[in-house]
Structure 1
Amino acid sequence: KVHFPGLGFGPLQKLLHFLMALDSLYRRQTFRMPVGEALKIIFGLSLPFLLVPHVVAARVEPLLSGVYPDYPAILRTLWSSSFNTSRQSLALIVVWGHACLGAWFWMRGRAWFPKYETLLYTVALLVPIFALLGFVNGARSLERDYAEHGGYGDRAYSSQAPRVDPNLLDKIRLAFYGGFASLIGGTLVLRALPARGRIRIRYPDGRVAAVSLGFSVLEASRAAGIPHVSVCGGRGRCSTCRVRITQGLEGQPPPEAAELATLTRIGAPENVRLACQFRPVHNVSVVPILDTDSLGIKTQLARQNAGGRERRVAVLFCDLRDFTRIAEHRLPYDTVFLLNRYFEVVGEAVEGSGGVVDKFIGDGALAIFGLKTPLPEACRQALSAAARLSQGIRALNQTFEGELEQPLRLAIGLHAGPAIIGEMGYGQATSLTVVGDTINTASRLEGLAKEHDVELAVSAELVERAGLSFEGHRRLEISLRGRKATLETWIIGDAAQLSLSLPMQG
């Protein structure tokens, strides 16, 4: 192995990386951040303190003594005490953890990441395990190789080799520790100095974040403790943190290249900016477009005492029209958030009317009414849910106005009749569900609504059992596959109009 005097490229590279981390720490306006981001910073800043003893032993001491040890000599030093071994093992884990977190923040917004996620996690786990096993195996081979070769021919193994005063080495190590600690402390002091100028960022619920100039909207939200979605960690690689500016857009700095590329990709209007990149220079009012509630669907109603029996129920089947084409022009994270907002609208409409969401199928949903109520009331609940769904989709279109090439449109099918209700499935996939001709009919009525370009197709049987009259709307006699008799069906162009004729829900 050839040895060159000097510190070498590796330590200088790590020093440069450390300085870049300090610069990032200085520019960060708030320490409120997700756990993953915090760990990445902590790992990066702690690494020099773990490597100082190794750098001094492997680089500084050889410069002073003129003896440049080979790999076995370095390995013997690392295994000279349990403290050295543990510190070096911890350094390996910290380095790898820091690298994996950085790679994860970079990759998780890529379209291909979900496909290879399991493989990448496996590699991330196995690499440090094999590295530590190699470290142990190398230590076990030291004595055997030394005996076989009669020494390595290196003056480091000779008692006559020049030695450096241990006190001097201790002082050098302390100087390194003090230097790195001073750099971190100085960065924190500079951050604490009062900034010139304050701005106010107002949110739709009335809360206001008063921050110094230089804060991004995302940093202001975190500093004020206001939940704000940011999937990519504030790097402008997704658009989940975006906000609509309702006041104060004039005179603000234009989007830079990274932000502009993402905004162009989703077709955002001029008053929409990425909160992680937008740094206002004067007071501004913003509306976060994606809220934290859209990360998941609200907990459904309890389903006790609803299994293993036949019951007459009302069934709602709904589906988003042309959603596949809409999703083709959006980022993956935006599609997920849009779908979750839609699922939230479905869940609130169904549960608010007294029903239960049975399952989501792609961009469709199946809901049941009447698990604990008489059939006439269940039919009225299903109609009420259809009206609420229509109103909810209109509100969702207003929220995403300017970002969708075309508004979201619903197709809903409603039918009532007998169904088998029970826990069905296998293993962890078991859940309460319903099966029977009633569910199939509701699904076909949803398809009929699409064929006639309307929001709702509801069987006359459900309307009659609800005690209502839909005179004035179209009524069709349709044939359904598998049924000999025709099914009388009401065709409703705007399901939101039903709310005017429905009785108030208790």
Structure 2
Amino acid sequence: MKQTETRPASEAAAPGPRIPWREIRLTSGLVLAAFLLTHFSNHALGLVSVEAMEAGRAWFNRLWRNPVGTTLLYGSLLLHFGLALQALYRRRTLRMPVREAAQLILGLSLPFLLIGHVTGTRIEWTLTGHDSGYPEVVRNLWLLSPEVGARQAAALVIAWLHGCLGVYFWLRPKPWFPAYALLLYTAAVLGPVFALLGFAEAGQEIAGAPERFATRAAPASDLLPLVGPGLYAVFGGLLAATFAARLIRSANLWSRRVQIRYPNDQVATVPAGFSVLEASRIAGIPHISVCGGRGRCSTCRVRVIEGAEGQPPPTAQERGTLARIKAGPNVRLACQFRPSRSVTVVPILSTGRNGMTALVRAGRAQGQEREVAVLFCDLRGFTSLTEKRLPFDTVFILNRYFEAVGEAVEDAGGYIDKFIGDGVLALFGLRTTPQEAARQALDAALRIKAGLARLNEDYASEFEHPLRIAMSLHAGPAIVGQMGYGQATSLTAVGDTINAASRLEGLAKELDVELVISEDLATLAGLDLSDRNRQIVSIRGRAAPLGSWIIPEAGSLGR
């Protein structure tokens, strides 16, 4: 019998070059956001005067009414709308998070809200040469047709909200975003507020002196009345065609159904072209997917037990992720694998236990890579101390010690990750820059040293020898997220940075010193330790050794 050799998914043949649709959509969206920002800024000048608005409009027109600006603006608008239609068509299901649905709906509605405004300003100028200035536009929208003005104001706010959602989805994974989120949110709110206030102030100014802002009538055009209805028909037709294409595709796919078989005789029947992850969700089968089904993690991966032959090869994104985790034979990402025929799979990361299922459904298993500073501290000789004390006395001393460490870390701006026996792991940089995180960690170490000194002074009669401490400080990337099981789930961090910090804390014990600081953290904190003892530390599982500074007395850094 001839045996068929099966290659790992990560070794499948590479498909052709991929068009970066997401990047193109983002770029076109940023161009439109820049236009809105300059437009809002021009409106906000109405808080000064109508003349200031007109002066600002001159600069605005120089930016956007030249051949390059016109091509960039309207090309981006058409491209962005077309890519929104493409995204709508490519979705296998219209079930999506509320924020994604809001962004899609707002984006598709924009052309219909702006056609009247664009026709009455830019297209009229193109056809007749009549340039509608702010006095004419504001008078028409504020005095003559306030209902149209309200609709245009709503359109600008909707456009701004759509852009803000897009920028939020783009910046959300960035490690620095939490530190600047409040500033960006404030700017996003104030932009349309100042624009609308400027528009209202200009309306009041023109209403108070209409003769001062008299304008000439626009030249007649036989073509202009047909432009608006024509644009509505074109954009409406494109949207209707997209939904019609979805219906045709759905009917075609449902005529070619495939079965996804899971353990415990669970079966999901879906149209060909649906991913395994989509099949799991449709059938209500718990399936982990930390990144939300975008192929950016490997938590949804499955092992193909039967039916691997003849299936579509992995995409470039899936192939890269599988290669990164050194995936074995017949392993695929459920969010990227779209079977063309029936298949049997087994999810590699099980969700059978209630704790993990609850995490997946609640969406609390999200994690992200961040640049953090890490502090490890541990009491020296505490085991021998506990041997001579009653359990209650030991607990009392530990709690006083934990209280001193916890207050020091929180006062410095850090977060207590966990208590490990008489040791403590603290994180810095969850909401700050790496430089600030490093300075906070150093501050916390000095506060811990001072707190331990007070503890030794307060309980000197209780201790045969003063309590001593060993600490380490390190900085670098780590995966931060909710981890654990059931009620024992908490925010924590894992990765090489945590392991290295733990090893440095062990070095502090070996050398009988109070603090060891990595060169990485010292550099970020702007700390000059050239006059201190330096050692190169080899860390198990880490290719490169780690330079570190040995500080026998932590308190000496504060002097």
TM-score when normalising by structure 1: 0.53
Q: AA paired with 2:259?
A: R
Distance (whole Å) between structure 1 residues aligned to residue 179 and residue 124 of structure 2 = 48
What residue in structure 2 maps to residue 216 of structure 1?
Answer: 275
Unpaired segments ≥5 residues, structure 1: 152-156, 299-309, 348-356, 365-402, 405-506
**Equivalent position SS for 1:195:** helix
What residue in structure 2 maps to residue 93 of structure 1?
Answer: 157
What residue in structure 1 maps to residue 127 of structure 2?
Answer: 64
Match of 2:179 among 115, 126, 148: 115
Shift of 1:206: 4.1
Give the direction of change, closer, same or farther, for the CA distance of 1:176–1:143 in structure 2 (3 Å limit): same
What residue in structure 1 maps to residue 261 of structure 2?
Answer: 202
Give the direction of change, closer, same or farther, for the CA distance of 1:207–1:104 in structure 2 (3 Å limit): farther
Tell me if structure 2 keeps the 8 A contact 1:229–1:241.
yes
Distance (whole Å) between structure 1 residues aligned to residue 290 and residue 189 of structure 2 = 23
1:186 is the counterpart of 2:244: no
Tell me if structure 1 keeps the 8 A contact 2:300–2:347.
no
Shift of 1:36: 1.8
Match of 1:163 among 196, 220, 225: 220
Shift of 1:182: 1.6
Give the direction of change, closer, same or farther, for the CA distance of 1:112–1:278 in structure 2 (3 Å limit): farther
Tell me if structure 1 keeps the 8 A contact 2:287–2:347.
no
Shift of 1:17: 0.9
Match of 2:85 among 22, 25, 30: 22
Distance (whole Å) between structure 2 residues aligned to residue 290 and residue 71 of structure 1 = 63
Match of 2:339 among 263, 268, 280: 280
Q: AA paired with 2:110?
A: L
Q: AA paired with 2:311?
A: Q
Q: AA paired with 2:91?
A: R
Q: AA paired with 2:295?
A: G
What residue in structure 1 maps to residue 541 of structure 2?
Answer: none
Tell me if structure 2 keeps the 8 A contact 1:245–1:271.
yes
Distance (whole Å) between structure 2 residues aligned to residue 94 and residue 232 of structure 1 = 28
Distance (whole Å) between structure 1 residues aligned to residue 183 and residue 348 of structure 2 = 35
What residue in structure 1 maps to residue 312 of structure 2?
Answer: 253
**Equivalent position SS for 1:211:** strand
Tell me if structure 2 keeps the 8 A contact 1:21–1:44.
yes
Shift of 1:54: 0.9
Match of 1:176 among 227, 231, 243: 231
Q: Which moved more, 1:22-31 or 1:114-123?
A: 114-123
**Equivalent position SS for 1:199:** strand
Unpaired segments ≥5 residues, structure 2: 1-57, 352-356, 365-391, 396-418, 428-474, 497-559
Query: Sequence identity of aligned pairs in percent?
Result: 45
Give the direction of change, closer, same or farther, for the CA distance of 1:360–1:289 in structure 2 (3 Å limit): closer
Tell me if structure 1 keeps the 8 A contact 2:139–2:207.
no
Q: AA paired with 1:115?
A: A
Distance (whole Å) between structure 2 residues aligned to residue 138 and residue 270 of structure 1 = 68
Shift of 1:52: 1.0
Tell me if structure 1 keeps the 8 A contact 2:260–2:268.
yes
Distance (whole Å) between structure 1 residues aligned to residue 165 and residue 358 of structure 2 = 26
Distance (whole Å) between structure 1 residues aligned to residue 107 and residue 363 of structure 2 = 36
Per-residue displacement from partner, 1:149-186 (whole Å, max 9, x unpaired)? x65xxxxx214x42246xx6554322222222221111
Q: Which moved more, 1:97-106 or 1:24-33?
A: 97-106
Shift of 1:134: 3.2
Distance (whole Å) between structure 1 residues aligned to residue 134 and residue 190 of structure 2 = 24
Match of 1:294 among 348, 359, 377: 359
What residue in structure 2 maps to residue 414 of structure 1?
Answer: none
Q: AA paired with 1:192?
A: L
What residue in structure 1 maps to residue 108 of structure 2?
Answer: 45
Shift of 1:140: 3.9
Q: AA paired with 2:335?
A: C
Distance (whole Å) between structure 2 residues aligned to residue 253 and residue 139 of structure 1 = 61
Q: How does 1:399-418 map to 2 (within 5 A)?
A: none
Distance (whole Å) between structure 1 residues aligned to residue 103 and residue 333 of structure 2 = 23
Question: CA RMSD of the aligned region, Å?
Answer: 4.8
Per-residue displacement from partner, 1:327-386 (whole Å, max 9, x unpaired)? x99974xx52xx53xx325x3xxxxxxxxx7x968589xxxxxxxxxxxxxxxxxxxxxx
Tell me if structure 2 keeps the 8 A contact 1:199–1:213.
yes
Shift of 1:262: 3.9
What residue in structure 2 maps to residue 32 of structure 1?
Answer: 95
Q: AA paired with 2:180?
A: Y
Q: AA paired with 1:344?
A: Y
Give the direction of change, closer, same or farther, for the CA distance of 1:98–1:229 in structure 2 (3 Å limit): farther
What residue in structure 1 maps to residue 370 of structure 2?
Answer: none
1:344 is the counterpart of 2:399: no
Give the direction of change, closer, same or farther, for the CA distance of 1:126–1:110 in structure 2 (3 Å limit): same
Give the direction of change, closer, same or farther, for the CA distance of 1:52–1:267 in structure 2 (3 Å limit): same
Distance (whole Å) between structure 1 residues aligned to residue 133 and residue 124 of structure 2 = 13
Distance (whole Å) between structure 2 residues aligned to residue 239 and residue 138 of structure 1 = 55
Q: AA paired with 1:293?
A: A
Per-residue displacement from partner, 1:204-249 (whole Å, max 9, x unpaired)? 4544332222222333344445555555554334445444544444
Distance (whole Å) between structure 2 residues aligned to residue 36 and residue 297 of structure 1 = 15
Per-residue displacement from partner, 1:180-213 (whole Å, max 9, x unpaired)? 2221111111111132532222344544332222
TM-score when normalising by structure 2: 0.48
Number of equivalences: 330
Q: How does 1:90-489 map to 2 (within 5 A)?
A: 90-142=154-206, 157-159=215-217, 161-164=218-221, 169=224, 171-193=226-248, 194-195=251-252, 197-204=256-263, 206-226=265-285, 228=287, 230=289, 232-239=291-298, 241-265=300-324, 268-269=327-328, 271-284=330-343, 285-287=345-347, 289=349, 292-295=357-360, 332=479, 336=481, 339-340=482-483, 343-344=484-485, 347=487
Shift of 1:18: 0.8
Give the direction of change, closer, same or farther, for the CA distance of 1:360–1:175 in structure 2 (3 Å limit): closer
Give the direction of change, closer, same or farther, for the CA distance of 1:237–1:108 in structure 2 (3 Å limit): farther
Distance (whole Å) between structure 1 residues aligned to residue 241 and residue 119 of structure 2 = 24
Tell me if structure 2 keeps the 8 A contact 1:105–1:233.
no
What residue in structure 1 maps to residue 466 of structure 2?
Answer: none
Tell me if structure 2 keeps the 8 A contact 1:248–1:282.
yes
Distance (whole Å) between structure 2 residues aligned to residue 141 and residue 361 of structure 1 = 55
Distance (whole Å) between structure 1 residues aligned to residue 232 and residue 358 of structure 2 = 45
Tell me if structure 1 keeps the 8 A contact 2:478–2:493.
no
Q: Which is bigger in relative contact order (C-alpha 8 A, separation at least 6)?
A: 2
Q: AA paired with 1:195?
A: N
Q: Which moved more, 1:170-179 or 1:137-146?
A: 137-146
Give the direction of change, closer, same or farther, for the CA distance of 1:26–1:115 in structure 2 (3 Å limit): same
